[in-house]
Amino acid sequence: MNIYDFKNLTDSIHASLSVNLSPTAVTIIEFIIIASAFMILFTLLGLVLVYAERKIAAFFQLRLGPMRVGKWGIAQTAADAIKLILKEPLVTKNADKFLFNLAPFIIILSTFLALGAMPFAKGLHALDFDIGILYLTAVSSFGVIGILIAGWSSDNKYSLIGAMRSGAQVVSYELSVGLSLLTVVILAGSLQFSEIIASQETGWWIFRGHIPAMIAFIIFMIAGTAETGRGPFDLPEAESELTAGYHTEYSGLKFAFFFLAEFVNMFIIAGIGATVFLGGWMPFHIGNWEGFNKIMDFIPSLFWFFGKVAFLIFLMMWFKWTFPRLRIDQLLRLEWKYLLPINLVNILVMAFIVLMGWHF
Amino acid sequence: MKAIVKYIISIISALRTLIKGMAITGHYISHPKEIITQQYPENRETLKMFDMFRGEVVLTHNEDNEHMCTGCSACEVVCPNGTIEIISKRIEMPDGKKKKVIDKFVYHLSMCTFCNLCILSCPTDAIKMSQDFEHAVFDRSQLTKVLNKPGSKLMEGVR
Amino acid sequence: MEEIATNKNTGKPLETQEYFINMGPQHPSTHGVLRLLLTLEGEIIHNVEPHLGYIHRSIEKMCEKDSYTQIIHLTDRMDYLSSHMNNEAVSLAVEQGLEVEIPDRVKVIRTIISELTRLSSHQLWWGVFGMDLGAITSFLYGFRDREMIIDIFEETCGARLTMNYNVPGGLMFDIHPNFQKGTKAFVTHFKKKLPEYDQLLTENVIFELRTKGVGVLSKEDAISFGVTGPTGRASGFSNDIRKHNPYSAYTQVDFNEVLREEGDSYARYKVRIQEMWESMSIIEQLIDNIPEGDYKVKTKAVIKLPKGEYYQKVETARGEFGVYIISEGGKSPYRLKFRSPGFSNLSALNRMAKGAKIADLVVIMSTLDLVIPDIDR
Ligand code: SF4
Ligand code: SF4
């Protein structure tokens, strides 16, 4: 088994706190530690992903991307963040002020809740519900409420159209995301992330589940990209049509929230994909090649997880920087006429395979 | 059945076209040699404009601080935008004759459309286009330039 | 049938209102300061009303005080992406009035540069079209290839966009010694890159979905709106001036007028892509056969056109560009009128966009290939 286990670390922290504090105080302090850890992670993710996106987009487009702030423009996003914080938060004259200010927080909240259920590494897992997948799909989809509120309250027609598009889009694609995850749930026999990961110890589900798992993975990537409103599915903020969609009227820090949420959502989708299909923090093992498997075990689980996530994120960026955008009716047709029926058939096939015990 | 086969074929061919597109972008991301960005202020030394480039109008002077502008005003007349103003004065020559020479060759860079007509019209080829393209200044008044250098005079033999 | 919703308090049916949106004057997809007043029902467009005049610079009026040599450089600033063709049109009109015989060398060089300009304009359009569809990468690819042409221009005539390379009676200077080499290098380079354009966009299934059947313009409408250029030819309206009223060296070359019947955005797109191949073939036919001779015939320093009317049309990258000069015998025209292709093409927008979605409008606008300064003048 894996030699790096964060359980030791967390246990020792817990033990050292428990020495001279009451259990309630220990729980509160641990909450604070975890909360600040997630805050830091959130900011870091934002900074790193924005930088990565800009660089990768640049290289796809024969450019160099940011090069001026720091070596290779490393500090560019930090500089941008400072700029956004210092900017004046504008509110349109006839905006519904309360809702206008509330919207970014709803979006941020939903991403935070989803981030909390991510299994980052062995033993590094804040919320391990027994209904993990259900919980994740539930909380990650209520960001759309924030988007709708933002579009409605900012008193801008472009924003409203963007918000409506987003509503239709997220509600439809939520189905496909859920169903494609269900395919693996059938295989793994559990909704709990830790168990899904544990069930992949001998091999990742994408390889062990035959073609249905592959199909489920492809559908998940498409629907996941659509749910984050990225890539070819960025209709809610299609800048050539709606200037900036639902966040047209936002500026400064509130705009930064929308912006960050988009990137962290991308991380979450990639994280779920990595966990469910690619074995989470499980290292890559091949059958009974003992030596090879040992070497793989030496790579810490944290690296495995983030490596897989990075790969999936790169894939999503590749989509975004290659494809043209779909139109709203085509987007919905793709979901209801292609992804959903395929998905349903796929689940049946998968159930049959599991029933017959044909999977590895 | 036929419909289902068609449905599946359409999906596969659609995916193939998408992958083809990704192959193009994938090719470029894996070939950093193709990057076309030029790092502008850093490459100042190597950045050379073509000889023909129309940067701004300059009055050529030789080493003795002499130029070839007779003050005929042909360029002033031909300029569509009133960019050039020739202010001339009369000086007394050693032999007692009075002669018209330029006092100031005023050039409003902010008005110039770089049409090159003035250069073509000059009978003595006194002016030419320089290859300088960094025109940004902090104050608009700096864009109005006097092209003849202080103390310069008409070259011998040019008339 | 669904029931009509009623107001709970009054019991009257709820009123619905049409939804107005101002697209522009500052909007990413109007490519300039064009303002479109859209009447919408949800995403569906009921009416498009273009409002012009945001960059009207009264170029036609300015021409009335300028000499004929000066007029040419003003036309650079109309359709800046086909500046050479605009210049050529004025030069040809003036030469027509002066009744001078233009050397063959000038004709061939003018044709080559016209075709290079057309290529560069189409490349930019291709990049921008991709960007309007959301595939931003194509923008950079289009600009990479365009840069090579622009460099050729810069080396030959000193300017990149507003070239002003024509003068009445010929060209401003002779071509640069590197001109032929550079052009040939470009053609070989671009022959490799143009298939990539197809691979990245044309064959993409999303691209086909977005463009096929979108913004259909029938042949009758194209003719009655006076829609020319690639936009008109995509509707089957044969209108290539280069074929019907050849000027310069177009009589010497062998090329096809690209025609399609569908009249939708995809057809307009394909016509332009095909035109790039045709342009390259024209350049290849001429580049090695530039005749020796003068690059210019001598004209008087102050050109005066005899009293009369002169009209010259050329095929720019957007369609038929016409110059109509009325001369009273003076050194500047009494009246000068430009027939700009963009203006007529824009007039068909409402017909094409009715019933389409907002996203389609962006596609239609983009395939019309509008250059706003050309429309507003
Ligand atoms: S280049 Fe044209 S606009 Fe500029 S000064 Fe000469 S004639 Fe005038
Ligand atoms: S620059 Fe040339 S055209 Fe202009 S005034 Fe001097 S001599 Fe005449």
Tell the burial category of A214 from Cβ atoms under 10 Å away from its Cβ (0-12, 13-18, 19+). middle
Q: Tell me the per-residue pLDDT of C43-70, one tens digit each, with 9 for 90 and over.
A: 788 888 888 888 888 888 888 888 888 8
Mean pLDDT of A232-248: 75
- Among C164, C179, C193, C210, which would you mutate to test the B interface (most chain B Cβ atoms within 10 Å of its Cβ)? C164
pLDDT for C218 equals: 87
- Considering only CB atoms, A322 lies closest to which of B11, B21, B32, namely B21
Residue C172 Cα to ligand 2 middle (Å): 18
Domain ranges of chain C: 56-345+358-376
A58 touches chain C (CB under 8 A): no
List chain A residues with CB under 8 Å of B35.
59, 62-64
Task: Look at residue A261 and tell me whether its pLDDT is greater than 70.
Answer: yes
User: Whole-angstrom distance between the N-terminal and C-terminal Cα of chain A?
Assistant: 20
Task: Look at residue A20 and tell me whether its pLDDT is greater than 80.
Answer: no
With cut-offs at 50, 70 and 90, classify the pLDDT of residue A2.
very low
- Phi/psi for C171 (5° steps) reads -115, 160
Q: Tell me the per-residue pLDDT of A265-317, one tens digit each, with 9 for 90 and over.
A: 888 888 888 888 887 777 776 666 677 777 777 777 777 888 888 888 888 88
* Residue spans of beta strands (DSSP E) within chain B: 56-59, 66-67, 84-92, 98-108, 127-130, 144-146, 153-154
pLDDT for B88 equals: 81
Q: At what angle do helices C104-133 and C179-197 cross, to 10 degrees?
A: 30
In a domain, A208, yes or no: yes
Q: Which fold has domain C56-345+358-376?
A: Cytochrome-c3 Hydrogenase; chain B (1.10.645)
Kindly report whether the peptide bond that precedes residue C25 is cis, defined as omega within 30 degrees of 0.
yes
DSSP C296: B
pLDDT for A240 equals: 66
Asked if C131 and A241 come within 8 Å (Cβ–Cβ), the reply is no
**Nearest-angstrom CA–CA distance, C346 and C329:** 35
Instruction: Ligand 1, residue C73: give the atom nearest the CA.
Output: 2
In a domain, A256, yes or no: yes
Amino acid in position C126: W
**Nearest-angstrom CA–CA distance, C33 and A69:** 34
- Phi/psi for C335 (5° steps) reads -150, 145
pLDDT for A287 equals: 65
**Domain range holding A114?**
6-356
Name the residue with higher pLDDT: A275 or A17.
A275
Are C238 and C228 spatial neighbours (Cβ–Cβ below 8 Å)?
no
Count of domains for chain A = 1
- Considering only CB atoms, A232 lies closest to which of C29, C206, C362, namely C206
Minimum mean pLDDT range among A166-170, A191-195, C82-86: A191-195
Contacting chains of A (3 CB pairs or more, <8 Å) are B, C
CA-proximal residue: ligand 2, atom 4 (nearest): B75
Are A263 and A49 spatial neighbours (Cβ–Cβ below 8 Å)?
yes
Q: Which residue has tokens 């017909």?
A: C351
The rounded percent of chain A whose pLDDT value lies above 70 is 92
Q: Which ligand is nearest to the CA of B69?
A: 2
With cut-offs at 50, 70 and 90, classify the pLDDT of residue A16.
confident
List chain C residues with CB under 8 Å of B115.
70, 73, 162, 164
Tokens in use for A143?
Answer: 């960001």
With cut-offs at 50, 70 and 90, classify the pLDDT of residue A1.
very low
- Cβ of B79 closer than 6 Å to ligand 1, yes or no, is yes
**What is the secondary structure of A288-344 as a DSSP string?**
T-HHHHHHHHHS-HHHHHHHHHHHHHHHHHHHHTTSPPPPHHHHHHIIIIIIHHHHH
pLDDT for A360 equals: 64
- Among A53, A327, A329, A338, which would you mutate to test the C interface (most chain C Cβ atoms within 10 Å of its Cβ)? A327
- Cβ of B115 closer than 6 Å to ligand 1, yes or no, is yes
> Of the candidates A315, A328, A313, A220, which has an alpha carbon nearest to the alpha carbon of residue A266?
A313
Are A279 and A196 spatial neighbours (Cβ–Cβ below 8 Å)?
no
C30 touches chain A (CB under 8 A): no
pTM, rounded to two decimals = 0.86
User: Whole-angstrom distance between the N-terminal and C-terminal Cα of chain C?
Assistant: 51
Q: Tell me the per-residue pLDDT of C162-203, one tens digit each, with 9 for 90 and over.
A: 888 888 888 888 888 888 888 889 899 888 888 888 888 888
In a domain, A1, yes or no: no
The CA R_g of chain A, rounded to the nearest whole Å, is: 21
ipTM higher than the 0.90 cut: no
Q: Tell me the per-residue pLDDT of B7-20, one tens digit each, with 9 for 90 and over.
A: 888 888 888 888 88
**Nearest-angstrom CA–CA distance, B28 and B39:** 19
Tokens in use for A125?
Answer: 């897992």
In a domain, A80, yes or no: yes
- Cβ of B154 closer than 6 Å to ligand 1, yes or no, is no
In the predicted model, what is the mean pLDDT of chain A?
A: 81
Q: At what angle do helices C265-287 and C179-197 cross, to 10 degrees?
A: 150
Q: Tell me the per-residue pLDDT of B48-71, one tens digit each, with 9 for 90 and over.
A: 888 888 888 888 888 888 888 888
